[in-house]
Amino acid sequence: MKIAICSDHAGYQMKERLSAWLTGMGFEVMDFGTDSPESMDYPDVAHPLAQAVENGSADCGIAFCGTGEGMAMTLNKHQGIRAGLAWNQRIAELTRQHNDANVLVMPARFISWRMVTLIVRTWLATPFEGGRHQRRIDKMPVPKG
């Protein structure tokens, strides 16, 4: 499985640590940056990650920023992205089960490294339930016209 990953400066340390952890577990990681803890603009890394997931270069994505909010808002501008913000395992599970989230976003300033690993394990292991949830997923893209 190919996982795209990105962060802003606030999430840089978590992204670096998660990238190594995922690689050690046998995942292929596509790192879209940032490459340092120096201040930067999260849309600069969010848009390329979203494009990789949309075009199939990556199977899914994981992103960090300080609160997770800015990253999630930017990612969700893309019609093919369903980015879910999770700060615990239950939220991560529900973003997959009910929303078929293809990008996981986490708030780097508000969760521990241990919580990151629990959230990621849960999110990657949880399947989409389909059924009534699929009908809702089908209505998410903005209608044309």
d(CA 27, CA 97): 22
Which residues on adjacent β-strands are paired with residue 62? 5, 104
Please state the φ and ψ torsions of residue 27, each to the nearest 5 degrees.
-85, 150
**Cβ proximity of 85 and 106 under 8 Å:** yes
Q: Is the dihedral of CA 66, 61, 91, 70 positive or negative?
A: positive
| Catalytic one of 9, 78, 98, 133 | 98
**Stated length of the chain:** 145
How would you label 129-142 residue by residue, b for 16+ Cβ within 10 Å and e otherwise?
A: eeeeeeeeeeeeee
78 is catalytic: no
What is the number of other CB atoms lying within 10 angstroms of the CB of residue 39? 9
98 is catalytic: yes
Indicate which residues carry an active-site annotation. 65, 98
